[in-house]
Structure 1
Amino acid sequence: MGDYLENGDIKSQLDRTERIKNCQKPEFSKKLLIDYYFEKVQKIKFGVYDIDNKSFDLNDDDYLGGTECSLGQIVSSKKLTRPLELKKGKPAGKGTIMISAEELKDTRVVNLEIEARSLDKKDFLGKSDPFLEFYKQSDSGPWQLVYRSEVIKNNLNPCWRRFSVPLHTFCGGDFSRPIKVHCTDYDSDGSHDLIGSFETNLSQLQKAHDGSLVEFECIHPEKKQKKKKYKNSGIVIIKSCKIEMEYSFLDYIMGGCQINFTVGIDFTGSNGDPKSPDSLHFISPNGINEYLIAIWSVGNVVQDYDTDKLFPAFGFGAQVPPNFQVSHEFALNFNPNNPYCEGVQGIVDAYRQALPQIQLYGPTNFSPIINHVARFAAQAAQQRIAAQYFILLIITDGEITDLDETRQAIVSASKLPMSVIIVGVGNADFKAMEFLDGDNGVLRSLTNEPVARDIVQFVPFRRFKNAPQEALSKTVLAEVPKQLVSYYKMQGWTPVKLPEAKKV
């Protein structure tokens, strides 16, 4: 399911839930966070899609129906049930969507580390593929899903990744509110089998800390009823449960974190001769092209978060003077010792001056420039404070040549204070870019090492050709705040200067 927030004539995708396979009554665990403004009419469209491929493009999926409403309608009703419509006023024939809203008042989060042992074997030819689901009891009585873990394949003694749930979402801030936990065996056809469950509350879970474990018997009610000697279907072990303060993007920025902005521009031959009007590097009579629009759109937003306004800018895939050897990380101003440009205008000027001096060539290699920025991010990380974060904007026209090396570079960079934004210009097939964007699954290196966190955002420029300039910047920068927060949270680093209201 995806949802779109409308602002005037601009519609942009705000977020999407996880995909639930082969299920006609899905219950989505992912919470969609939206800023609410009483003084604005915030129109929202919820769309439900049947996804049968790996593409992130919803145009490739079957639209099952949706509904349009305002955020005010959801807030005022708390729980809104609507029939699915193929388009406004045209019912989809069957199916409804239920939307509920809660105000996030508390910025604390519940951090949990959980494992299990001796779970029941559920698969005929294997063991079990267990996952956990946490439910809180709502004020009206029914259980409400608040978190669903990842699936651990073929393992009766699984150890799930550490995870966080906002305290208000987890239990409404009530430490004694009943929490029900299901341990379930995943089946690809959607017919998941319950291994067992137990009830607890946050107060009990909190007893797990500093090496003290809390254990719960996983009970299958039907087995308990039928078998006299039945004990349990395994043990779920709470290794750690901590309540911590959740810091926001603004907390880090206002606490002194600087954003370092770097641009990488594709000068491969597939762009076409810059002197030809058909080239993506051709500068039109009004002084623009898609590369310049992307630089202006993103740079004008990011520059406000950098005090010195000095931005390194690089090119790749061109033969550069004086020897005209191919380079994949040459300084746009041809000064490798000082590749910094003064402000966004400085990047634009360097780009214009470089075009007639270089020869477009190839191939399209991303890894050198990603690794270049990663070296600086690694130096910043050694300070072990939330002082610097790096954003690399890559503007490119085509397919990546060094995809395997780029995958490794991104996996390595995911452990650093760094984000990568890729803007695809022209009409090329950008499937490799979508693959790198972690929204569609967990990106892995050739050695099968997963990314530590999602750091890539890919956007094809063609979607914004007729949209206001701010629409592009809004979309490409949408994930940066949560990527920044996810890194510092992963490291356990608080803002350099704590906000007064959050000092504990």
Structure 2
Amino acid sequence: GLLSLPFQVQCADHDSDGSHDLIGTFETNMTQLQRAGDGSLVEFECIHPEKKQKKKSYKNSGIIRIKSCKIETEYSFLDYVMGGCQINFTVGVDFTGSNGDPRSPDSLHYISPDGINEYLIAIWSVGSVVQDYDTDKLFPAFGFGAQVPPSWQVSHEFALNFNPNNPYCQGIQGIVDAYRQILPQIRLYGPTNFSPIINHVARFAAHSAQQGTASQYFVLLIITDGEITDLDQTRQAIVNASKLPMSIIIVGVGEADFKAMEFLDGDSGVLKSLTGEPAARDIVQFVPFRQFKNAPREALSQMVLAEVPKQLVSYYKWQGWAPMKPLEVKKM
């Protein structure tokens, strides 16, 4: 059927200014090209139509030899999800002192009389979409940058439910409930270190990657007021995580200068570690909450999650992993 459909190949001399010069063309089909895969000699005369008309002695403008030909399936995000890929969603919440005293209405952690703040809106906006791709609806949730009881040591990856052996919350509502309960029990402190929580999720992603299947992908949502302290360690953590089935979403709350977050996003160039090692792929999406303050919640979740499907597909394509269960195509 489709493999025998003819198509024309144009060969041109590439010019950097875009004025490419036609060398010639030839016609073929996929059946012919695929013969190159079994060692057969597949070659075509490259013919320039005008030169052929003008010169009787014209033979060709060169020979095109096909050395190999492969047909590869381009899988979509939906193919992987329908194939059984689980999206594992983890939340990291910034409890550093720069957020302000949660009891003060000026604080980013202050819960208004109607029960919300920017942290809670970000958790709901992103979580309500991501949870549909996770069958068990159990989400690990952590805080960082606070002094926690009973020792009042500063911690950069404490479970929001105070259970380090089982930091999972039941659904997005479970994360919200844990956040509300922990707020009066901790002391906001500092510094603002991202790398511990990125490395925490990366350990799970690395373990999953060893299975060699497209079974689990990890999404880490970090909500922060933006004054990052361990930028160099975070750069290294992101470069390491870029080789794993993992994406990082950073939502910036408040009015701070988010230059460091935009730098981590890597949209203006490839993020590199302090030693110059480049990220294998772009896995960070940064969104400032203030741009969406008066927009519907769906607008924030759309913007925040815009890159994740592409990032998931790019990782599995890079690894050469197909979806686990082939999609069943229903016959019309």
TM-score of Structure 1 vs Structure 2, range by shorter chain: 0.7 to 0.9
Letter in 1 for 2:326: L
- Of 164, 176, 180 in structure 2, the residue corresponding to residue 348 of structure 1 is 176
Q: Deviations over 1:110-129 (max 9, x none)?
A: xxxxxxxxxxxxxxxxxxxx
Letter in 2 for 1:177: Q
* Structure 1 segments unaligned to the other structure (5+ residues): 1-105, 107-172, 186-190, 217-235
Tell me the CA shift for residue 176 of structure 1: 3.4
CA contact (8 A) 1:270 1:398 kept: no
Aligned partners of 2:21, 2:72: CA distance in 1, in Å?
A: 31
In structure 2, the residue matched to 1:268 is: 96
Asked whether 1:382 is paired with 2:210, we answer yes
CA contact (8 A) 1:184 1:196 kept: no
CA contact (8 A) 2:8 2:25 kept: no
CA contact (8 A) 1:407 1:444 kept: yes
Once the two structures are superposed, the pairs formed by residues 443-462 of structure 1 within 5 Å of their partners are 443-462=271-290
Tell me the CA shift for residue 175 of structure 1: 6.1
- Of 11, 14, 26 in structure 2, the residue corresponding to residue 180 of structure 1 is 11
Once the two structures are superposed, the pairs formed by residues 201-220 of structure 1 within 5 Å of their partners are none
In structure 1, the residue matched to 2:226 is: 398
Once the two structures are superposed, the pairs formed by residues 82-93 of structure 1 within 5 Å of their partners are none
Aligned partners of 1:403, 1:174: CA distance in 2, in Å?
A: 54
Aligned partners of 2:229, 2:210: CA distance in 1, in Å?
A: 32
Letter in 2 for 1:440: S
Asked whether 1:255 is paired with 2:255, we answer no
Label 1:471 to 1:492 Cα distance change in 2 as closer, same or farther (>3 A).
Answer: same
SS at match of 1:435: helix
Count of aligned pairs: 307
CA contact (8 A) 2:33 2:66 kept: yes
Label 1:183 to 1:325 Cα distance change in 2 as closer, same or farther (>3 A).
Answer: farther
Aligned partners of 1:298, 1:199: CA distance in 2, in Å?
A: 50
CA contact (8 A) 2:10 2:22 kept: no
SS at match of 2:7: coil
CA contact (8 A) 2:92 2:222 kept: yes
Tell me the CA shift for residue 242 of structure 1: 2.6
SS at match of 1:471: helix
Letter in 2 for 1:335: N
CA contact (8 A) 2:8 2:27 kept: yes
SS at match of 1:348: helix
In structure 1, the residue matched to 2:303 is: 475
Label 1:210 to 1:391 Cα distance change in 2 as closer, same or farther (>3 A).
Answer: farther
Q: Deviations over 1:324-381 (max 9, x none)?
A: 1111111111111110011101101111111111111111111111110010011111
In structure 1, the residue matched to 2:253 is: 425
Once the two structures are superposed, the pairs formed by residues 146-295 of structure 1 within 5 Å of their partners are 176-180=7-11, 182-183=13-14, 241-295=69-123
Q: Deviations over 1:430-477 (max 9, x none)?
A: 111111113222112222222222111110000110011111111101
Letter in 2 for 1:257: C
Q: Deviations over 1:458-499 (max 9, x none)?
A: 100001100111111111011111111111111111111101
Label 1:429 to 1:200 Cα distance change in 2 as closer, same or farther (>3 A).
Answer: farther
Q: Which has the higher helix share?
A: 2
CA contact (8 A) 2:12 2:21 kept: no
Aligned partners of 1:244, 1:287: CA distance in 2, in Å?
A: 51
- Of 135, 139, 142 in structure 2, the residue corresponding to residue 314 of structure 1 is 142
Once the two structures are superposed, the pairs formed by residues 42-81 of structure 1 within 5 Å of their partners are none
SS at match of 1:293: helix
- Of 134, 139, 155 in structure 2, the residue corresponding to residue 327 of structure 1 is 155
Label 1:193 to 1:432 Cα distance change in 2 as closer, same or farther (>3 A).
Answer: farther
Q: Deviations over 1:44-83 (max 9, x none)?
A: xxxxxxxxxxxxxxxxxxxxxxxxxxxxxxxxxxxxxxxx
Deviates more, 1:202-211 or 1:353-362: 202-211
RMSD, matched Cα = 3.0
CA contact (8 A) 1:420 1:457 kept: yes
Q: Deviations over 1:382-419 (max 9, x none)?
A: 11111111110000001321111111111111111111
In structure 2, the residue matched to 1:407 is: 235
Q: Deviations over 1:20-47 (max 9, x none)?
A: xxxxxxxxxxxxxxxxxxxxxxxxxxxx
SS at match of 2:119: helix
Label 1:239 to 1:333 Cα distance change in 2 as closer, same or farther (>3 A).
Answer: farther
Aligned partners of 1:239, 1:448: CA distance in 2, in Å?
A: 36
Aligned partners of 1:215, 1:403: CA distance in 2, in Å?
A: 54
In structure 1, the residue matched to 2:52 is: none
CA contact (8 A) 1:265 1:315 kept: yes
Aligned partners of 2:65, 2:219: CA distance in 1, in Å?
A: 39
Aligned partners of 1:201, 1:437: CA distance in 2, in Å?
A: 44
Q: Deviations over 1:223-281 (max 9, x none)?
A: xxxxxxxxxxxxx9988653211111111111111111000000111101111110000
TM-score by length of 2: 0.83
Structure showing greater relative contact order (alpha-carbon pairs closer than 8 Å, 6 or more residues apart): 2
Label 1:197 to 1:285 Cα distance change in 2 as closer, same or farther (>3 A).
Answer: farther
Aligned partners of 2:165, 2:320: CA distance in 1, in Å?
A: 34
Aligned partners of 1:364, 1:240: CA distance in 2, in Å?
A: 52
- Of 178, 193, 198 in structure 2, the residue corresponding to residue 365 of structure 1 is 193
TM-score by length of 1: 0.56
Letter in 2 for 1:176: F
